[in-house]
Amino acid sequence: MIPMILKLCVRDKDGKRFFIWLPLFLVWIIILPLLLVPIPFVALAALIMWPSGKGPIILYGYFTIFKMIGCLSGLEINIGSGDSAFFIVLK
């Protein structure tokens, strides 16, 4: 499942807080065409590189990127140092 919501929170030493709640499904609508447009070019590059053995790597690598985006849901990074903190969650 691709992440649909991004929560980002940054707190600096002075206690100032920056919080962002981003509905990623809206971002995906914009990004998805940008990811789909290169597919014919990637396929062409893979075909050209096929004799050298790099074709399957290009194809597999490109689609693994999609898979990795799909697996990002549930990622949580929380880093704190004294009063400052950084927190990011993908849901």
Partner 1 sequence: MTDERKKILEMLSEGKITADEADRLLSVISKDSGSGSGNVGNKEPKYLRIMVEPGPKSKSPDKVNIRIPLKLIRAGLKLAALIPKSAQTQVNDALHEKGIEMDFSQIKPEDLENIVKQLDDLTVDVEGKESVRIFCE
Q: Which residues bind partner 1 (CB under 8 A)?
A: 57, 60-61, 64-65, 67-68, 70-82
Closer residue to partner 1, CB minimum distance, 13 or 17 = 13
Place of tokens 């062409």: 44
21: left (phi over 0), alpha (psi -120 to 50) or beta: beta
Question: CA-CA distance, 9 to 65, in Å (whole number)?
Answer: 26
Residue closer to partner 1, measured from CB, 34 or 79 = 79
Place of tokens 């689609």: 63
